[in-house]
Amino acid sequence: MSIGLTGGIATGKSTVAKMIASRGGHIIDADQVAREVVEPGTEGSRRVRERFGNHLFTSSGELDRLALRKVIFHDERARKDLNQLLHPLILHRMKSMRDKIESKPGRMAVLDIPLLIEEGLASLVDQVIVVVVPESLQLQRLVAREGISEEQALKMIQAQMPIEEKKKFADVIIDNSGTMADTERQVDVLWETWVRDNGFVR
């Protein structure tokens, strides 16, 4: 069985992923995979270098991700090009990791993908979990986490698909607006259901 875990920025998706992992879920982190596919010597690194130039790489061959973000932030064409270059590599690796986990009896793959719904990737998984909080709390957490103004944080939130829209795609909704214990209880109930219905190994 495979689970897709998603949510808006600063809703606590990573926190929920850690809770599921502590119970036995095998997390596949899309952000981590995205970093791995552009490591020195990889096909992804070669593609980025060919399209964007050597100036985005350090002397040791590492991609300067901050410099790249600045480029694509101001250039929509560049952002689309980057996605076309790297998304197939990221998707291929995530599918391979998912299949390897699922090939072992009693194992569950959890694909932690921020843009799971926006990128039309829900078909990769058996169930979709959306982690939600009210926008006011989302804004508060984002300001505190990033050290930015409310105006900047609001722009980041509004650049994403609204949480209410994401909820329409959810098989399971986890409300992360309460205490950690509140969220843990929701994950406990969910995990017990998975164990009962699918016989996952703890």
* 103 annotated ligand binder: no
Measured between alpha carbons, how far is 87 from 177 in angstroms, rounded to an integer?
Answer: 32
* 15 annotated ligand binder: yes
For residue 49, the surrounding DSSP H or E stretch is helix 43-52
* 13 annotated ligand binder: yes
Contacts of 26 (CB under 8 A, 6+ apart): 101, 107, 108, 109, 110
Measured between alpha carbons, how far is 119 from 91 in angstroms, rounded to an integer?
Answer: 11
Q: How many CB atoms lie within 10 A of CB 98?
A: 18
Alpha-carbon distances of 143 from 6, 84, 87, 137, rounded to whole Å: 20, 31, 29, 10
* 30 annotated ligand binder: no
* 58 annotated ligand binder: no
* 2 annotated ligand binder: no
Measured between alpha carbons, how far is 5 from 28 in angstroms, rounded to an integer?
Answer: 10
Task: Point out the annotated binding site for ATP.
Answer: 10-15
Q: Which residues are annotated as a binding site?
A: 10-15
